[in-house]
Structure 1
Amino acid sequence: MKILIKILNHKYWWAGIIVLFAIILFASSLLHTRFDLTKEKRYSLSQSTKKLLGKLNEDVEIDVYLTGNLSSGFRKLKIATDELLENYRDYSNGNLHYKFIKPDAGLDDSAKALLYDSLVRIGIKPFNNKEYTNDEKSERWIFPSALVKYKDKMLAVDLMSGKSGMDEESTLNYSEALLEFKFDDAINKLTKTEFPVVAYAAGNGEPAIDFANRKLDPKVLDLMNLMRKNYRFGVIDLKDGILNADTIKALMIVKPSSTFTDQEKIKIDQYIMQGGNVIWFIDKLYAEFDSLLRAKSDFVAFDKNLNLDDQLFKYGVRINSDLLQDINSAKQPLVVGNAGGKPQIERLPFPYYPLLSSPSNHPISKNLDNVISIFPSSIDTVKAPGITKTILLASDTNSRIISTPAIVSLQSVKSEDDIKTFTKGNIPVAVLLEGKFSSLYANRFSKQMQDSVQQLTGVPFLPTAIKSSKQIVASDADLVTNVVTQTQGPLPMGTQEFENYQFANREFLLNCMDYLVGDAGILETRDKDFTLRLLDKNKIAENKTLWQLINIILPILLVLITGGIIQWRRKKKYAI
């Protein structure tokens, strides 16, 4: 402190200040430190991100296309992306490089059209950025995306996230919160060298591959492509195959339609006891929209008799024999009347297609858009010692349950009185189970039977699990199938015919699989929450001139006052 006073009292004090400032600048260029004082740690990287970046041993190139003439909201997203990637670069040992580029700069309209088509094919979608200022509207095409490149591989990253019905400010804030997860996920998928083995169960009527005719069931085209791209993926027939948890890291059971035998159930049970992970997408009742259209009238949804109730109950859940309806649902083209002998068709909310969301903060489903379901049933959790249960997806706040025999009707909601029956809410449809499970067959088998099980599974019979594992049970198989149309063929997962919107079914499936067999640390970066602190737009408009004057005049006044004080001190000190 004394040294600072001496410097300020010296004749050439200003030169000392300049030298001191130069030393501070030089030191700051050598030592990079960031202090994050925000409550939600907005500017801090997670430990899993730092670990991922620290393991990079070759260059990762990132081209960010979010640039050019942007609205204020997208400028904020661009700045957040720039700050995040700058932070990434600091932790990457010089192996991560990024730049902002405008892909269509200097191109004529025909060249732009070709470029847009090529970008869409690799997953980079243009966005019509609309801006309203002083009652004037402007529109421009922008690309809120990035392309991550590593060696000869590349992966598109969509910087936009959000839920249907959100306003632009909330959507962009939501997008900012997920930036770290999206870039982590892309870098991890491009750089990882080991891919877990995921098996898809067949033999019980699941939509799969017809080996005889070498044809893939179009209902699971998207699912198969996703799994092959991200995992070592294959189909296993439970009748003949052996499930070994040391080799197969996760088993998928999707939309079975025929009864499981005890032999098949024992194989699944003992796989879980070995520490294997299972994801179940089960339709307990037979209820399909195609059947409703073919019947042209009501029909009764009936039980498929899969013989899985006791097994799932033992693990901690029960899929009920009912159908779930919700007011918040996807739309379907329905006949609403006749005019001139022709049916009048209108797209109306179809309560059998409820839109699901997460009632919990689990990273699988947190910050996720709505997931569309098709004729789901409800799920109850039941007591299972040592098992942790987490609801991943549930209905909205205006739901009801139709118990069996469940009558399916195109006009299930006909009046205001029908709407008043939607009195339930947050009914579970997907549940995560974690812990050491107990076998369904514990204390049931004699020594001879246990020896037979060992011959069947290849390992000694286990009454309880030797290590913890995870299961995800969903009471709607169509969460992960895709609609097949006569004109367009298979649609992307989470997309409905005549609805120009893709729900988050694909993201939900990938998050589930990442949690079961992937890097859980990266998935936890989805857990970020950025608080949206909005300004009052009416007050801004009313006090616009005042704040402009404060921002322009106040700094000038401070400079003049400071200069005046310095001059006064000098005159006082050196006055004769």
Structure 2
Amino acid sequence: MNKKDLKNQAIIKLLIFIAIIVAVNVISTQVFTRVDFTKNKTYTLSPISKDIVSKLDDKMVVKAYFSENLPAPYNNLRRQVMDILSDYRTYSNGNLSYEFYNPTGEEKADELGQEAQKYGINPVQVQVVDKDKFEVKAAYMGMVFLYEGRQETIPFIQSINNLEYEITSKIKNLSVKQKTVVGYLEGDGSLDITKLQQISKGLGDQFELKPVSLGLNRAVPDEVKVLLVLGPTTVLSENKKYMLDQFVMRGGNVAWLIQKVTPNFQQQIIIGNVIDDGLNDMLLNYGIKVETDLIRDLQCGQVTVQSPIGIPIAVNYPFFPVVSNINKDISSFANIPSVTLSFASSIDLNAVQGKDVKADYLLKSSDRSGKAEGFFILNLEQFQNMNKQAADTLFNKQGYVLGAVYNGRFKSFYAGKPVPTDTTEGSGPIMIQQLNESSKESKMVVIGDADFINEEQRPPQDNINFFLSMVEYLADDVGLAQIRSKESSDAPIEDVTDGTKAFVKYFNLIFPPALMLIIGLIVWQRRNKRKKELQTSK
């Protein structure tokens, strides 16, 4: 083969190689794929996100305002956000597009920064190293979604943790024509949801929140699909109970957060006061029984106390059970790692027997738990310096049900009874028709604690996520709940035995040099052999 033929072959191979590269790039623009090895599939859109973005029926524009050249840990954030938005664009059937802008953060000349602030995206302060010294600069890390004359904003993106949930919820809020109405019971000592800022915002972003004030013969408004009963501490009147009962009969879903015992700090010995909300008989009619007890658990949260030398220290408090036994078969709660309760009471699932209702646990205590009944002494000192025998006595039970779900057709507590009316001055006539059984299947969630969402007590974020997922479950909106707690996770190096460590150490010391020596010997032998063949041919 002459030199000309060799040259032609090289050109042909080069052209074929270039053609393959071009073909691969053309195909990659039409066919999207990605291999995601992260544990939680952080970089892969969930089916619910794909479904929501694919149903856009008009053009949506996403404007992302990200300052460039940010320091760690934000240096890769722009690229990661761009990758995620690319996924949404791929599954949007051409209806979603995005644009990235680079505001400089200089107040006087930064028109892009002023534009971002009009959308509610304000600069944040980040530390950067410039010319070997620390400086504080303003940076933008947010995005706005524009759709049919409306907008939704994510003002600050600190990491990609939970970012899919935020983006999908914004897209859904803009594309859904009418939000589901979630009501919350006012008065009677119930938690004021307007003072629960995280919960109010989380629910308000997705649902229409509506206060429900009963009494004076007022019924739960027809548009309310889900009703939140958040730990009433005074006895509800029969008229109010009747309106709650009739809401269930028409197919409404209810979250019952029942606080049976509350601490009394007015005395030196902290005791638990029993709360009577007047709901026991009606709930029992549905197959729901919340016991008047308190569950203690060795798997528990902490309280801060003063040490003998005056230093605040955190100590375990068994009346704050940390519940990690969550029913993962209910998809809405699959990503919730734990819920921390406070002064929680158990739920008897056997009360549902004989009812046309199915009950299942949602939260269970750990394998080292116990129950206090009767007179409740809540002082921390009783758990300090416990020996093994005392611990085995106090925490010798397992699996107390602290939260449960109920599904089915419920019977009215007031079937065959006179309709209770409110005769208070100002009361109007009862405007609803009495129903004796559920017109359709409905759902209830019962938790033997209400204070676990009280933001004045600074609950963990998992508590907030759990409550929001619970409302979504009752609203039949389970998709977003499945991705709310989707976070990137580290892959730590697993512990290994000393023998394995020694093997890896000496393998790394011996094998690479030995391999190079063997390869060198093989090459040397081949050269010697070829040299002898050449000498023989001469």
Match of 1:61 among 38, 63, 72: 63
Closer/same/farther in 2, CA of residues 17 and 252 from structure 1, 3 Å limit: same
Structure 2 equivalent of residue 393 of structure 1: 363
Distance in 1 between residues matched to 2:504 and 2:247, nearest whole Å: 64
Structure 2 equivalent of residue 347 of structure 1: 314
C-alpha deviation, 1:547, in angstroms? 13
C-alpha deviation, 1:323, in angstroms? 0.9
Distance in 2 between residues matched to 1:464 and 1:146, nearest whole Å: 53
Contact 2:60 2:95 in 1 (8 A): no
Match of 1:150 among 124, 145, 158: 145
Contact 1:85 1:98 in 2 (8 A): no
Contact 1:66 1:100 in 2 (8 A): no
Specify the SS of the correspondent of 1:441. coil
Specify the SS of the correspondent of 2:383. coil
Distance in 1 between residues matched to 2:123 and 2:281, nearest whole Å: 46
C-alpha deviation, 1:191, in angstroms? 5.0
Structure 1 equivalent of residue 436 of structure 2: 463
Structure 2 equivalent of residue 522 of structure 1: 480
Closer/same/farther in 2, CA of residues 459 and 105 from structure 1, 3 Å limit: closer
Specify the SS of the correspondent of 1:515. helix
Closer/same/farther in 2, CA of residues 221 and 19 from structure 1, 3 Å limit: closer
Letter in 1 for 2:409: K
Contact 2:332 2:469 in 1 (8 A): yes
Closer/same/farther in 2, CA of residues 242 and 157 from structure 1, 3 Å limit: farther
Contact 1:371 1:503 in 2 (8 A): no
Letter in 2 for 1:281: L
Distance in 2 between residues matched to 1:142 and 1:327, nearest whole Å: 47
2:191 matched to 1:204? no
The 5-angstrom pairing of residues 236-247 of structure 1 reads 236-240=212-216, 242-244=218-220, 246-247=222-223
2:98 matched to 1:97? yes
Specify the SS of the correspondent of 1:249. strand
Structure 1 equivalent of residue 246 of structure 2: 270
Deviations along 1:432-481, one digit per CA (max 9) or x if unpaired, are 22333232234x33xxx47989x975333222211222222111110222
Match of 1:307 among 278, 294, 306: 278
C-alpha deviation, 1:427, in angstroms? 2.8
Match of 1:381 among 336, 339, 349: 349
2:296 matched to 1:325? yes
Match of 2:336 among 351, 368, 375: 368
Contact 1:434 1:469 in 2 (8 A): yes
Match of 1:250 among 226, 234, 239: 226
Closer/same/farther in 2, CA of residues 66 and 346 from structure 1, 3 Å limit: farther
Specify the SS of the correspondent of 2:395. coil
Contact 1:223 1:481 in 2 (8 A): no
Structure 2 equivalent of residue 430 of structure 1: 403
C-alpha deviation, 1:258, in angstroms? 1.3
Distance in 2 between residues matched to 1:549 and 1:353, nearest whole Å: 55
Distance in 1 between residues matched to 2:477 and 2:135, nearest whole Å: 38
Letter in 1 for 2:474: L
C-alpha deviation, 1:319, in angstroms? 1.0
Contact 1:366 1:526 in 2 (8 A): no
Letter in 1 for 2:85: L
The alignment's C-alpha RMSD in Å is 4.8
Structure 1 window deviating more from structure 2 (462-471 vs 358-367): it is: 358-367
Distance in 1 between residues matched to 2:12 and 2:325, nearest whole Å: 62
Letter in 2 for 1:506: I
Select the structure of larger CA radius of gyration.
2
Distance in 2 between residues matched to 1:296 and 1:323, nearest whole Å: 20
Distance in 2 between residues matched to 1:517 and 1:127, nearest whole Å: 40
Identity of aligned residues (%): 20
Deviations along 1:26-46, one digit per CA (max 9) or x if unpaired, are 541552232669798946534
C-alpha deviation, 1:350, in angstroms? 1.9
Deviations along 1:207-235, one digit per CA (max 9) or x if unpaired, are 449xxxxxx7x5x5655565555533333
Closer/same/farther in 2, CA of residues 236 and 23 from structure 1, 3 Å limit: closer
Distance in 2 between residues matched to 1:61 and 1:386, nearest whole Å: 52
Structure 2 equivalent of residue 405 of structure 1: 375
Letter in 2 for 1:247: E
C-alpha deviation, 1:351, in angstroms? 1.9
C-alpha deviation, 1:249, in angstroms? 1.6
Distance in 2 between residues matched to 1:344 and 1:203, nearest whole Å: 40
Closer/same/farther in 2, CA of residues 48 and 126 from structure 1, 3 Å limit: farther
Contact 2:121 2:143 in 1 (8 A): no
Closer/same/farther in 2, CA of residues 179 and 207 from structure 1, 3 Å limit: closer
C-alpha deviation, 1:104, in angstroms? 8.8
5+ unaligned residues in a row in structure 2: which ranges? 1-7, 108-116, 128-133, 423-427, 517-522, 524-538
Letter in 2 for 1:52: I
Specify the SS of the correspondent of 1:59. strand
C-alpha deviation, 1:413, in angstroms? 0.6
Contact 1:359 1:426 in 2 (8 A): no
TM-score, normalized by length of structure 1? 0.67
2:164 matched to 1:180? yes
TM-score, normalized by length of structure 2? 0.71
Closer/same/farther in 2, CA of residues 280 and 160 from structure 1, 3 Å limit: farther
2:467 matched to 1:509? yes
Specify the SS of the correspondent of 1:239. coil
Distance in 1 between residues matched to 2:366 and 2:343, nearest whole Å: 15
Contact 2:38 2:488 in 1 (8 A): no
Distance in 2 between residues matched to 1:208 and 1:436, nearest whole Å: 30
Match of 1:441 among 414, 436, 439: 414
C-alpha deviation, 1:267, in angstroms? 1.1
Closer/same/farther in 2, CA of residues 238 and 75 from structure 1, 3 Å limit: same
Structure 1 equivalent of residue 536 of structure 2: none
Contact 2:325 2:364 in 1 (8 A): yes
Contact 1:255 1:282 in 2 (8 A): yes
Closer/same/farther in 2, CA of residues 158 and 425 from structure 1, 3 Å limit: farther
Contact 2:88 2:96 in 1 (8 A): no
Contact 1:363 1:526 in 2 (8 A): no
5+ unaligned residues in a row in structure 1: which ranges? 1-8, 108-117, 129-138, 162-174, 210-215, 484-490, 495-501, 554-560, 562-576
Structure 2 equivalent of residue 557 of structure 1: none
Structure 1 window deviating more from structure 2 (150-159 vs 86-95): it is: 150-159
Closer/same/farther in 2, CA of residues 406 and 366 from structure 1, 3 Å limit: same
Distance in 2 between residues matched to 1:61 and 1:549, nearest whole Å: 52
Deviations along 1:345-384, one digit per CA (max 9) or x if unpaired, are 5432222222233522134333235433221111222325
C-alpha deviation, 1:50, in angstroms? 1.9
The 5-angstrom pairing of residues 32-111 of structure 1 reads 32-34=31-33, 42=41, 44-54=44-54, 55=56, 57-63=59-65, 68=70, 70=72, 82-92=82-92, 93-97=94-98, 99=100
Specify the SS of the correspondent of 2:98. strand
Deviations along 1:175-230, one digit per CA (max 9) or x if unpaired, are 4xx55334323433455442332222134232449xxxxxx7x5x56555655555
C-alpha deviation, 1:75, in angstroms? 8.8
> How many equivalent residue pairs?
469
Distance in 2 between residues matched to 1:222 and 1:44, nearest whole Å: 27
2:324 matched to 1:357? yes
